[in-house]
């Protein structure tokens, strides 16, 4: 025997009570947030999220480490990497040789980071930021010279780096990253001082 099909009836409610409870509840929540706002907006150009070190941002090539194995171009799932053949003067053999170097096309790149992972000599690395404006599509196809430079961090010019977490009652809680930056700055100053003293001692 198949199970009997039965319709479940909703418990009857008093329609007036339903109307009043729903509307007044909604208005109360609205008023609460109106007088005690609780924002989850990041004011982007004025403050930006400080990304961690392992972030897969833009990719930069260190030409000296590259051994022209083309693993990066082969593993690239979006076919964004391409190998360029370039004449290089080899000092050991004292003659010109053709060597291959990768270049990247940011129209296609999906920032998966496989090329960085697969590189046997760690010639590619990520930069921990990802906000760059290009004026046209051609500029997004980098040349070998551009691929070796770290792109400039535009966020860094205007905004404050910020770390954040979500809180149920307070919304987006942001703490400026500046304190940690100051600590780093102190460390660097100390290091410079130590180096300077060392030089003096040596001198």
Partner 1 sequence: MNPCYYACYIVYKVIVYDIIFYPPVYQFLIIPGLITAIIVAIFILWFERKAAAYVQMRYGPWEIAPRIGGAIQLLADLTRYAMQEIITPQTVDTLQYLLAPIVMVVLALLPLEAVPLTSVKPYFPIPSGYSLLVAVAFATLSPLFITMMGWASNNKFSITGSVRESFMITSYELISVLGLLTAAAMTRSYDLVKIVNLQMSGKWLGLINPIALFVVFIAVLMSTSGFPFEIPESESELVAGPFTEYSGLLYGLNMGGAYIRRWVFSILITLVFLGGWAPYRPTPGVITGYFIPSLIVSLKAVVIMGIMSFLRSVYGRYRLDQALGIAWEILIPLALLAFGIGLAEAYFGII
In the complex with partner 1, the residue whose CB is nearer, 28 or 178, is: 28
How many residues make contact with partner 1 (CB under 8 A)?
A: 13
Q: Give CA 91 to chain center in angstroms.
A: 39
Q: Is 78 in the site for partner 1 (CB under 8 A)?
A: no
Binding mask 4-33 for partner 1 (x = CB under 8 A): ----------------------xx-xx--x
**Residue choice 37, 54, 201, 203 for contact with partner 1 (CB under 8 A):** 37
Q: Is 194 in the site for partner 1 (CB under 8 A)?
A: no
d(CA 194, CA 187): 11
**Residue choice 13, 18, 20, 39 for contact with partner 1 (CB under 8 A):** 39
The residue among 27, 178, 55, 201 whose CA lies nearest residue 127 is: 55
Pairing between β-strand 124-126 and β-strand 160-167 as defined by DSSP bridges:
unpaired
Q: Which of residues 112-171 bind partner 1 (CB under 8 A)?
A: 171
Pairing between β-strand 160-167 and β-strand 47-49 as defined by DSSP bridges:
parallel
End-to-end CA distance of the chain: 100
Q: Is 77 in the site for partner 1 (CB under 8 A)?
A: no
């Amino acid at each position: 025997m198949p199970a009997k099909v039965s319709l479940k009836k909703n418990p009857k409610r008093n329609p007036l009570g339903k109307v009043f409870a729903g509307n007044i509840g909604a208005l109360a929540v609205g008023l609460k947030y109106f007088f005690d706002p609780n924002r989850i907006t990041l004011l982007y150009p004025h403050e930006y999220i400080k990304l961690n070190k392992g972030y897969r941002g833009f990719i930069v090539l260190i030409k000296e480490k590259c051994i022209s194995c083309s693993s990066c171009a082969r593993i690239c799932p979006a076919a964004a990497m391409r190998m360029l053949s370039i004449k290089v003067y080899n000092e050991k053999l004292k003659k010109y040789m053709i060597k291959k170097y990768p270049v990247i096309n940011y129209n296609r790149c999906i920032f998966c980071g496989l090329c960085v992972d697969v590189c046997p000599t760690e010639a590619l690395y990520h930069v921990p930021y990802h906000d760059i404006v290009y004026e046209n599509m051609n500029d997004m196809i980098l040349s070998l010279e551009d691929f070796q430079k770290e792109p400039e961090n535009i966020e860094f010019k205007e905004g404050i780096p910020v770390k954040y977490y979500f809180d149920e009652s307070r919304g987006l809680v942001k703490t400026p990253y500046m304190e940690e930056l100051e600590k780093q700055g102190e460390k660097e100053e100390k290091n410079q001082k130590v180096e300077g003293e060392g030089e003096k001692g040596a001198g």
